Amino acid sequence: MSESLLTVSGLGKAFRDYGSELRRFASWCGLHVQVKAETWVLRGVSFNVEHGESIGIVGQNGAGKSTLLKLITGTLRGTEGTIGVHGRIAAILELGMGFSPDLSGRANVRHTAGLMGFSHEDISGAMAAIEAFAEIGEYFDEPVRTYSSGMQMRIAFAVATAFRPDILIVDEALSVGDSYFQHKCFKRIREFREQGTSLLIVSHDAGAVQSLCDRALLLENGALIKDGDPAEVMDLYNALIAERENSTITISNHASGRVQTISGSGEAVVETIMLLNDSEEQVEFVDVGQPVTLQIQVMAREDIPRLVLGYMIKDRLGQQVFGTNTHHTEQVLEEVRAGQRVQFRISFPMNFGQGSYSVSTALVSTDTHLVNNYEWRDLALVFTVSNMSQPIFVGSAWVPPSIEVCTL
Amino acid sequence: MKEILAAIWSYRHFIVSSIKNDLRSRFARSKLGGLWMILQPLAQVAIYALVLSRIMAAKLPGINNRYAYVIYLMAGMIAWSLFAEVVTRSLTLFVDNGNLMKKMAFPRVCLPIIVGGSSLVNNLLLLVTAIGVFLLIGHPLSLAMLWLPLLIVINLAFAIGLGLILGILNVFVRDVAQVMTVVLQLLFWLTPIVYMPSIIPDRLRSILEFNPMMHMAVAFQDVILYGRPPPIQGLAIIALAAIVLLLFSLILFRRAAPEMVDVL
């Protein structure tokens, strides 16, 4: 199809302060009125969404994510720019909005679906499916005020996704509800995606973005600063979170063809990082189950009161496989002097499934990288695990089984 | 204009079910349920009748019914209750539905229609009850009552037009709703509902002429109590006012809508 499902070009949204409401009223009458203050919460945002494409939207609080979604769903109107939509949009923004407490679940479903613009017949046709999906039994015909918040959320999700939209907008609302229903929700979202629905997902959860999205957008201060591969965008996003005060971010092309992000204030840096096998030889290809040692040499450029090394092993899609830090293992170094070198040796059996993995390192002062971020280095090391000695298995973890088979 | 009508048509089921829900949820947990819709105005009529019937009954010459004042009161109340309900609810319409408007995209024009529709149902129920009461106290129905549908439509249009304008302004300046509760009270007493225009001194009566609701109340009283056609001039004035207000409110609505959600 030549036409994009969603075309956003030069979109901007400003909240205007007229100083006095009388001036606002005058502006409706076509008078030219001077605006006292204009706050742009979003400006110059352009992107396309193609059929079946899934896009994650990330950004810090106040970056303009919610505003962007509201503009796309049409609850807010843009100040400048255009949005072209060729399809039906459904949004799971804040679930359970507008339920009237004294009406039954069924009546509320009818009402909400009507609000979404569905006809009487469509709603009646889908009612049984909605009731079945929500799984709240006899409560479906009880007033909503008797519901738990989880039950309300079930109904709300069931209605919002009763009809497959062309674009489904999902906000972090999905973190509500019990884990059983959450799995069910994600299953439905994945099914929609397989059937060709485009997803727009706002989340802080790197895992969700990377597993569901083909592309990600990073918003910062109302501007779209990156549009690309989810793993790269999440790396830059993490770096942005860490970026405070005088730290810098460098983005370069890594040898593996992926984009590497290094950020931090630079008081301490990783000088060398290597993966060694049990005979202390540097390796890049590792057999499943083989014992290995991750050797990291750190140099302090300035005096540091407290030094913690964290590392994270991610799979090819950027999903986290394993990570910890020396704060959690209670091996914090205190009072490191400038010029001092520290060697960390992390030994573990390579109990991973086949595939390519990367190691990210973080040099920080506490257990998060949000306080003092000396250095954050994505793609510090890349290695490949292949299965040469174990029976065939799938998945990202090697959990050696012992299987007993007895014919009875 | 065409878009608005198309939007209303495609959301017609939603509008109807919203009106039903609105009526249902208003009385959801009361024992008498929907009866309250007519009990409240009837009780008000009863109170005024009890307090004022001795003083007022003598002022209604030419009606051979000792309940003439009750009929007079009811006629005025039917006109006033629709007007007051629509205006009061439109006043806070967008503010009350602010959350919904922020979260869902739907034709905003549905909201005033739902208010108008549910108030209309209320008013018709009251009218039916009133007619029942008239029959009970021996007041015959007259052919002039055929004017009622037209009167009600004009009354509704006038109230929606006025209410919508005030409701939009109230989103930006919340004082509007506060002021209007007082103004509505004043307007009630400036409208000949519990009293007759004849008891007002001539000098003041010319001021009353500027109150559009006076023409409305007089029309209802003529049709229901006296069984004669309403004064065409007064009716024409208020009909014209209704059309102007409705058009103005639609224009205002179009201009204000993009900014409304920003400040809700």
Domain boundaries, chain A: 1-88+165-228, 104-160, 253-386
Cβ neighbours of B14 in A, within 8 Å:
111, 114-115, 117
The DSSP annotation for A298-332 comes to EEESS-EEEEEEEEEEEETTS-EEEEEETTTTT--
| Structure letter (DSSP) for residue A177 | S
Q: What tokens appear for B192 in the block?
A: 């000949």
What is the distance of C-alpha B108 from the center of its chain? 22
| Disruptive mutation site among A66, A100, A146 for chain B (greatest number of B CBs within 10 Å) | A100
3-class DSSP assignment, residue A105: helix
Question: Does the pLDDT value for residue A245 go beyond 50?
Answer: no
Instruction: Say yes or no: A38 contacts chain B, CB-CB below 8 A.
Output: no
Instruction: Say yes or no: B252 contacts chain A, CB-CB below 8 A.
Output: yes
Which range is least confidently modeled, A48-57, A95-104, B12-21, B128-137? A95-104
Q: Binning pLDDT at 50, 70 and 90, where does residue B154 land?
A: very high
Q: In what order do the strands lie in the sheet with A54-59?
A: A89-92, A167-170, A198-202, A54-59, A215-220, A223-228
What average pLDDT score do residues A244-272 get? 71
| Disruptive mutation site among A31, A77, A83, A169 for chain B (greatest number of B CBs within 10 Å) | A77
Instruction: Say yes or no: A21 contacts chain B, CB-CB below 8 A.
Output: yes
Q: Comparing C-alpha atoms, which of A327, A265, A266, A323 is closest to residue A299?
A: A266
Mean of pLDDT over chain B: 85
pLDDT digits (tens, 9 = 90+) for B36-75: 777 887 888 888 888 877 777 666 666 666 778 888 888 8
Instruction: Say yes or no: B103 contacts chain A, CB-CB below 8 A.
Output: yes
Which range is least confidently modeled, A312-321, B20-29, B212-221? B20-29
How far is Cα B108 from Cα B105, in angstroms, rounded to an integer?
8
- Domain residues of chain B, as ranges? 2-263
Chain A: residue whose CA lies nearest to B253: A28
pTM of the full structure: 0.71
Binary contact (B169, A107; C-beta < 8 A): no
Q: What tokens appear for B150 in the block?
A: 């037209």
Choose among A75, A77, A123: nearest Cβ to B103: A75
pLDDT digits (tens, 9 = 90+) for A111-128: 888 888 888 888 888 888
From 4.10.520.10, 1.20.1730.10, 3.40.50.720, 3.40.50.300, which CATH number describes the A1-88+165-228 domain? 3.40.50.300
**Whether the Cβ atoms of residue A73 and residue A169 lie closer than 8 Å to each other:** yes
Chain A: residue whose CA lies nearest to B172: A21
Cβ neighbours of A28 in B, within 8 Å:
252, 255-256
From 2.60.40.10, 3.40.50.720, 2.70.50.60, 2.60.410.10, which CATH number describes the A253-386 domain? 2.70.50.60
Choose among A24, A29, A97: nearest Cβ to B103: A97
Chain A: residue whose CA lies nearest to B8: A117
Count CA atoms closer than 13 A to A316's CA, side-chain side: 11
Predicted confidence at residue A296, as pLDDT, reads 92
